Amino acid sequence: MTRVALVTGGVSGIGAAICHRLKSGGYTVIANYFGNDDTAKAFSEETGIPVRAWNVADFAACQSETAAIEAEFGPIDLLVNNAGITRDSTLHKMTEEQWKSVIEVDLGGCFNMCRAVIEGMRERRFGRIVNISSVNGQSGQFGQTNYSAAKAGVIGFTKALALEGASRNITVNAVAPGYTETAMVEAVPQKVLDTIVAGVPVGRLATPDEIARGVMFLLEDDAGFITGATLPINGGKYLA
């Protein structure tokens, strides 16, 4: 039986590229999404990958939807926590809603989803979890106290869960992408983005597939000795 992989935020951008790689690798892939029904429908029709809609910030929904996926497709052995949002603002203008929504989706979603699959992985003594952090969680970024805090939190979370999973053959790693050709980055004002790209030694944005390549490396069965790591894929923008 092929292993089952769940990718949150999996119907576009980096998540979609991860789904493509997993499918080509022979895994059974399910993509979670929230909100963008048309994109999800088109993605599913094009790839044949089933899609399921729920908000990863909703603990109960993560529990019930994960259980439903496992009943239909089998136990989830691979989880990629990719779903994330930005609500950029300097702190002196940031609302409580901008702060909370980013923490709840980007960091809370990681807890909610890992909590939903971890007991099964422990029982089966196998698991591969990759959490998508960000270069901005490592370096900090002007206008992103919320996002930088959440993405730095993802790295700490990853290290702690890696220690808990190690004896059960559950690896937990983070990937920290740099600026990538996605809708999230397209939303950055062009003038600001030009300055950012000028500071990337490789001199361009990443493609989503360049990030997916690193994620896939950490998800494979024979990656069992890599755990608690953070893999930067940022074109040299920040050398941790």
Pairing mode, if any, of strands 230-233 and 127-132?
A: unpaired
DSSP characters for 40-87? HHHHHHHH---EEE--TT-HHHHHHHHHHHHHHH--EEEEEE------
* Contact mark string toward ligand CAA, 188..207, x via CB under 6 A: xx--x---x-----------
| Region from 10-18, 26-34, 176-184, 206-214 binding ligand CAA, contact rule CB under 6 A | 176-184
Extract the tokens encoding 116: 């939903």
CB 212 within 8 A of CB 20: yes
Question: Binding string, 117-156, against ligand CAA, x = CB under 6 A?
Answer: -----------------xxx----xxxx--x---------
Judged by CB under 6 A, the number of residues near ligand CAA is 20
- Judged by CB under 6 A, the stretch of 1-9, 67-75, 153-161, 182-190 that binds ligand CAA is 182-190
Residues with Cβ within 8 Å of 103's Cβ and at least 6 positions away in sequence, in order, are 146, 149, 150, 153
**How far is CA 154 from each of CA 101, 132, 139, 187, 197, rounded to the nearest angstrom?**
15, 8, 14, 23, 24
By beta carbon distance, the residue nearest ligand CAA is 143
Closest CB to ligand CAA among 67 and 91? 91
* Catalytic annotation present for 33: no
Provide the minimum distance between the beta carbon of 208 and ligand CAA in the complex, in angstroms, as a whole number: 12
For residues 81-110, which are near ligand CAA according to CB under 6 A?
A: 86, 88-90
The 3-state DSSP class for residue 164 equals helix
Q: Which stretch binds ligand CAA (CB under 6 A): 27-35, 49-57, 123-131, 187-195?
A: 187-195
Token representation of residue 174 = 């983070």
Minimum distance from CB of 199 to ligand CAA (Å)? 9
Catalytic residues: 147
